[in-house]
Amino acid sequence: MGEVELYGETRKAMKRLLPQRYVSFKLNDMRTSGIPDMIVVANHIFSGWEFKFNDHDGFHWEGIQWLTACRLDREAYCRYVIYDEDTSLIYIVKPLELPEFVKTVNTSAPLHYEWGIPEKRDTRGVCRGFDHAALVQHIREVHKL
Digit-coded pLDDT (tens) for 79-113? 999 888 877 788 889 999 999 888 887 665 555 55
pLDDT for 20: 80
Q: How far apart are CA 49 and CA 127, in angstroms?
A: 25
- Provide the pLDDT for residue 8: 84
User: In terms of Cα–Cα distance, which of 144, 145, 142 is closest to 38?
Assistant: 142
**Residue 30: which domain range?**
3-142
pLDDT grade for 7, boundaries at 50, 70 and 90:
confident
CATH of the domain at 111: 3.40.1350
Domain count, the chain: 1
The letter for the amino acid at 130 is F
pTM of the full structure = 0.82
Residue 134 has what pLDDT? 85
Q: Contact 132/11 with Cβ under 8 angstroms? A: no
* The pLDDT value given to residue 123: 52
Residue 22 pLDDT: 82
Mean pLDDT score of the chain, rounded to an integer?
81
Tens digits of residue pLDDT in 36-72 = 889 999 999 999 999 999 888 888 888 899 999 999 9
For 25-59, give one letter per residue: b (16+ CB within 10 A) or e.
eeeeeeeeeebbbbbbebeeeebbbbbbbbeeeeb
